[in-house]
């Protein structure tokens, strides 16, 4: 439970503290991929030392970091592309925006839970 809590805190920091304006702009459109990939790499980079501190082998850490990075890139790119095609999804005044935001976060948390289970 402690590892899961720590990984969720890492997610918060990477998503809401360390995200740059360039990453935010790219995530809103689902392109260009480089800033979104950088954002996904930040997620993996925060997660890796926590996994290592929990005693996970370097090989497994590398695999789990790759899973976090790739899944984060895919989820954020898909969300941005949906938002760019459907204006209601990009407007915080619409309920659909918050439903998509919540679904995006749910997917990220499910990946983190899976990573935590694989790390144990």
Rg of the chain over Cα atoms, rounded to whole angstroms, equals: 15
Would 18 be classed as within a structural domain? no
Nearest to 109 by CA among 80, 79, 75: 75
CA 47 remoteness from chain centre: 11
Number of domains in the chain: 1
pLDDT at 120: 84
Would 50 be classed as within a structural domain? yes
Would 83 be classed as within a structural domain? yes
Give the domain range for residue 55: 2-9+31-119
pLDDT tens track for 44-92: 999 999 999 999 999 999 999 999 999 999 999 999 999 999 999 999 9
* pLDDT grade for 29, boundaries at 50, 70 and 90: very high
DSSP readout, 5-44? HHHHHHHHIIIIIS--HHHHHHHHHT--HHHHHHHHHHHH
């Amino acid at each position: 439970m402690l590892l899961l809590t720590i990984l969720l805190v890492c997610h918060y920091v990477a998503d809401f503290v360390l995200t740059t304006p360039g990453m935010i702009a790219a995530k809103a459109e689902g392109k260009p991929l480089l800033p979104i990939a950088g954002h996904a790499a930040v997620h993996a980079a925060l997660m890796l030392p926590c996994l290592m501190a929990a005693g996970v082998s370097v090989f497994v850490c590398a695999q789990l970091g790759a899973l976090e990075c790739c899944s984060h890139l895919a989820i954020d790119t898909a969300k941005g592309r949906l938002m760019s095609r459907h204006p209601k999804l990009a407007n915080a005044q619409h309920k659909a925006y918050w439903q998509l935001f919540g679904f995006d976060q749910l997917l990220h948390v499910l990946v983190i839970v899976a990573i935590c289970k694989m790390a144990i």
